[in-house]
Amino acid sequence: MSEIDEVKARLDIVDVIGGYIQLQKAGRSYKAVCPFHSERTPSFIVSPERQSWHCFGACGEGGDVFSFVMKKEGLEFREALHLLAERAGVALPERRRGEEDTERERLRQANEAAAQYYHRLLLDGEEGRRARRYLEERGLDRGTLQDFELGFAPAGWETLFRHLRDRGYRQEELLTAGLLTVGERGPRDLFHERIMFPITDLRGRVVGFGGRTLPSEGQPEGQPKYLNTAQTVLFDKGSLLYGLDKAKEHIRREGSAVIVEGYMDAITAHQHGYANVVASMGTALTERQVRLLKRFARDVVLALDADTAGQEATLRAMEYQEILGRDIRVAILPPGLDPDQAIRRQPDDWPGLLGGAQPLLDYKFQTVAASLQGARPWERSRAVDELLPLVALIGDRIVQAHYVQRLGRLAQVREAELQQMLLRQSTKRRSAAAVPEQPTAVAGTHPGDAREEFCLALLLRYPELREDGLAFSPELFWHIENRQVLEAWQGCSEVEEMAQVVPEELEGHLQRVSGIDLPPFGLQEARAALRDCVGRLKQRELEAIKQASSAALAAREAEDRTTEEELAAAAAAWQAGSASSEATAEDMSPVAALLRDTEIGLRLHQDSKMEQGEEDQRYIGAEKVENG
């Protein structure tokens, strides 16, 4: 439980607000004259059940105990947290963002110092002579070695450790940076007798390394050919692309990015003038890498050897096409050649190879068709099993229909049969991805805020939803931690900037919400889920207004007597449209207040009918697809 949750758990909102204004019991809630605007009739309602407050009068605001104190006292979130924590008897940990930033900078400096050490050994050291010769044989010139700051890790278990220790770096820092590992004899260098490839972030800062063994007859068995820095606070392989700091401006100008697999593939491409090339560093393309590339590229091409292109891990890129809004294409290289070899053999042929790239799904259809040996039923069934799940990922129904026809011809299956199979797959995916009626609250949070956090998780995960997220007010979120995160998100152009904007006390909350597991949404499904969730939050707000209105009305009915003639006159005015539903509580007669309460109830009922109508339309649409 975070300190924010602990403060909320220990304080009753009725007690806190009651310390500022006089509250009166009104059914299950409490009412008062709103402290934030001038009024004669109470329109300010506090709900002990929801631990929230709402004014259904002129200001129309609401929130939790934090938002009330912030507004009433004119405090920033951090100040309100300290005030309420002191009242609740919750000890707040000392915040050390400055110290944490200093620590991260220290780790970067350690990585940079290691890169410079390795680089000097490669360029000028006797230890790096064999590595220099090998790289020259691979066609790399000295300028390229310098541009990419390639290096060499010498033999010995503590050479880097001693070098950096003599320059003031502590053992703990080097372990945290991933430069050392702990063996049977204690800490030792992670890399030794390897060609070193510094891996940099978008700003060109060294965050980790890849190390390649030198070809040797005496190579120890069990040693991996490539070794990477382990996961650290700086290095996350799945969110980095090798060479992107050098390639990003070229990618932006050309509008396309080429992804290769290895370090040497990318370096050779750059040396020959093809500077829009980056490397995935031997792993399957990840969603985070695709989102990173989308900031610079309109088109993405995978330049792969024939073996790699057929791997299922690579075909996972199909799932990311909707993020780009375009096909990810695959360029198949000559048999037996990787990009490094293909470029060195015929540099001028590289643009033609990329120009012949085909959509990933077309390539998959081609490979499956080539593998069919005849018209045996089990082979046709295998083709459907391989291709239909990929066709199901296509968001555009017209494009999807094209591939359904193509699969029908390939597998000799009627399109109607494939459409029914496709519908069943889509139904399963929708069921798995559906927003629950009441999402399960994350441990340590208050019931009812799971929908707010679900909305935030969608916005943080899908940058394409930014326009949707900017359209709704932070006031829609009742819980202050979620409201603060939303306001920070709306004020930042990039998610990465948020860590520097949110209050330190909310860093943990931001990280937790960012890490919430979401269903495997495509973009259209994510947008639909966001709109559904926002709609439910608006309905929650309307229900709160209805509850507040009913409570206030009950109190007024106890004080006023209304004739049938007055009721009829007010009803006629309401039907004619002259009784505004936006009128404040103090401007209303008791009858008008009653009719306004009725109108709110009708709006809730109408929203419920519309929601049911949308469900019916989805059902009817599904039936039409199933029936052809």
pLDDT category at 427 given cuts 50, 70, 90 is low
The verdict on domain 3-88 having CATH code 3.90.580.10 is yes
Angle CA(143)–CA(144)–CA(145) in degrees, nearest 5? 90
Alpha-carbon distance of 416 to 624, in angstroms, equals 12
Is the pLDDT reported for residue 71 higher than 50? Answer: yes
**DSSP letter at 45?**
E
pLDDT for residue 393: 79
pLDDT for residue 436: 41
> pLDDT tens for residues 161-198?
999 999 999 999 999 999 999 888 889 999 999 999 99
Between 578 and 459, name the one with better pLDDT. 459
pLDDT category at 339 given cuts 50, 70, 90 is very high
Taking each helix axis from N to C end, the angle separating 129-137 and 97-124, rounded to the nearest 10 degrees, works out to 80
pLDDT for residue 595: 52
Provide the CB-side half-sphere exposure for 423 (13 A, CA): 17
How does the average pLDDT of the chain come out, rounded? 80
When computed from its CA atoms, the radius of gyration of the chain, rounded to whole angstroms, is 31
Q: What are phi and psi of 266, to 5 degrees?
A: -70, -45
Is the pLDDT reported for residue 280 higher than 60? Answer: yes
Q: What are phi and psi of 408, to 5 degrees?
A: -60, -40
Alpha-carbon distance of 529 to 603, in angstroms, equals 22
pLDDT category at 448 given cuts 50, 70, 90 is very low
Is the pLDDT reported for residue 316 higher than 50? Answer: yes
pLDDT for residue 455: 92
Number of neighbours of residue 387 by Cβ within 10 angstroms: 22
Q: Taking residues 477-483, report their average pLDDT.
A: 89
pLDDT category at 115 given cuts 50, 70, 90 is very high
User: Most confidently modeled of 322-331, 410-419, 611-620?
Assistant: 410-419
CATH number for 108-235 (one of 3.30.230.70, 3.90.980.10, 3.40.50.720, 3.40.309.10): it is 3.90.980.10
Domain positions in the chain: 3-88, 108-235, 236-371, 372-433, 560-626
**DSSP letter at 61?**
-
pLDDT for residue 617: 43
pLDDT for residue 553: 59
pLDDT for residue 551: 58
- Residue 28: strand, helix, or coil: coil
pLDDT category at 623 given cuts 50, 70, 90 is very low
Is the pLDDT reported for residue 582 higher than 60? Answer: no
Specify burial of residue 484 (Cβ count, 10 A radius: 0-12, 13-18, 19+): buried
Structure tokens belonging to residue 341: 């070899």
- What is this structure's pTM? 0.59
Percent of the chain past pLDDT 70, that is, above it, reads 78
pLDDT for residue 241: 95
Is the pLDDT reported for residue 534 higher than 50? Answer: yes
pLDDT for residue 1: 61
Is the pLDDT reported for residue 445 higher than 50? Answer: no
Distance of CA 566 to the CA centre of its chain: 56
pLDDT category at 559 given cuts 50, 70, 90 is low
Distances (CA, A) of 334 to 256, 310, 378: 22, 14, 31
Write out the DSSP string of 220-265.
PTT--SEEEPPP-SS--GGG--BTHHHHHHHHHHHSEEEEESSHHH
CATH number for 236-371 (one of 3.40.1360.10, 1.10.10.10, 3.40.50.1100, 3.30.390.50): it is 3.40.1360.10
> pLDDT tens for residues 264-275?
999 999 999 999
Q: Do residues 180 and 174 lie in contact, with contact meaning Cβ atoms separated by under 8 Å?
A: yes
Exposure string (b/e) for 321-357, b if CB count within 10 Å is 16 or more?
bbbbeebbbbbbbeeebbbbbbbbeeeeebeebbeeb
Q: Taking residues 10-27, report their average pLDDT.
A: 92
Q: Which of 9-13, 40-44, 211-215, 227-231 has the lowest mean pLDDT?
A: 40-44
pLDDT for residue 495: 78
Contacts of 599 (CB under 8 A, 6+ apart): 574, 581
Is the pLDDT reported for residue 90 higher than 80? Answer: yes
pLDDT category at 49 given cuts 50, 70, 90 is confident
Distances (CA, A) of 449 to 80, 491, 537, 545: 20, 22, 10, 18
- Residue 290: strand, helix, or coil: helix
> pLDDT tens for residues 119-144?
999 999 999 999 999 999 999 999 99
Between 625 and 551, name the one with better pLDDT. 551
Q: Do residues 5 and 445 lie in contact, with contact meaning Cβ atoms separated by under 8 Å?
A: yes
